[in-house]
Amino acid sequence: MSFSITLPDGSKKDFDSSLTIAELASGIATSLGKAAVAGKVNGELKPLDFVLDADSEVAIVTDKDEAALEVLRETVAFIFEATAKKAHSELRLGLHEAGEDGFFVDTDKADQIKVTELPELEKAMQKVIKNGEKIEHVQVAKAELAEIFKDDPFKSELLAKEADQVDAYKLGDFIDFGFKALLPNTGKIKQFKLLSVAGAYWLGKSSNPMLQRVAGTAFFKAADLEADLKRRQEIKERDHRTLGHNLDLFFVDPKVGAGLPYWMPKGATIRRIVERYIIDREVADGYQHVYTPVLMNLDAYKTSGHWAHYRDDMFPPMDMGDGEMLELRPMNCPSHIQIYKHHIRSYRDLPLRVAELGMMHRYEKSGALSGLQRVREMTLNDGHTFVTLDQVQTEFAKILKLIMDVYKDFDITDYYFRLSYRDPKNTDKYFANDEMWERSQKMLKGAMDDLGLDYVEAEGEAAFYGPKLDIQTKTALGNDETMSTIQLDFMLPERFGLSYVGQDGEEHRPVMIHRGIVGTMERFIAYLIEIYKGAFPTWLAPVQAEIIPVNLEAHGEYAEKVRLELAKRGFRVDVDSRNEKMGYKIRESQTQKVPYTLVLGDDEMNSDSVNVRRYGNEDQETMSLDEFINLITADVNEYSREK
Binding residues for Zn(2+): 333, 384, 514
- Are the CB atoms for 395 and 451 separated by under 8 Å? no
Q: Residue 406: what residue type?
A: V
Q: Provide φ and ψ at 565, rounded to 5°.
A: -60, -40
Pairing between β-strand 596-600 and β-strand 609-614 as defined by DSSP bridges: antiparallel
Tell me which residue of 529, 43, 9, 630 sits closest to 271, measured CA to CA: 529
Q: To the nearest 10°, report the CA torsion of 230, 231, 237, 239.
A: -160
Contacts 24+ apart (CB under 8 A), 620-626: 625/562, 625/565
Q: In whole angstroms, give the CA distance from residue 377 to residue 360.
A: 6
Strands in 388-506 per DSSP E: 415-421, 456-459, 468-474, 480-489, 500-501
Q: Are 412 and 473 in contact (CB under 8 A)?
A: yes
- From first CA to last CA, the distance across the chain in angstroms is 75
Dihedral angle sign, alpha carbons of residues 75, 80, 86, 90:
negative
197: helix, coil or strand?
strand
Label residue 242 exposed, middle or buried (CB < 10 Å: 0-12, 13-18, 19+): middle
d(CA 592, CA 513): 41
User: Which residue in 297, 306, 303 sits closest to 330, CA to CA?
Assistant: 306
The CA distance from 507 to 216, in Å, is 63
638-641's contacts with Cβ under 8 Å and 24+ in sequence apart are: 639/409, 639/410, 639/411, 639/537, 639/539, 640/537, 640/538, 640/539, 640/540, 640/595, 641/411, 641/537
Question: What CA–CA distances, in Å, run from 135 to 23, 48, 173?
Answer: 18, 12, 11
6 Cβ contact partners less than 8 Å away, ≥ 6 residues apart: 12, 55, 56, 57, 58
Q: Amino acid letter at 21? A: I
Sequence-ordered list of residues with C-beta below 8 angstroms from that of 259, at least 6 positions apart, any chain: 252, 364, 366, 369, 374, 375, 376, 377
What is the rounded CA–CA span in Å between residue 19 and residue 218? 30
Q: In the chain, how long is the greatest CA-to-CA distance?
A: 100
Residues linked to residue 417 through DSSP beta bridges, in sequence order: 471
Cα gap 579→154, rounded to integer Å: 55
Distance CA 48, CA 38 (A): 5
Q: What are the CB-based long-range contacts (under 8 Å, 24+) for 227-236? A: 229/193, 231/478, 232/195, 235/476, 235/477, 235/478
Annotation: binding site = 333, 384, 514
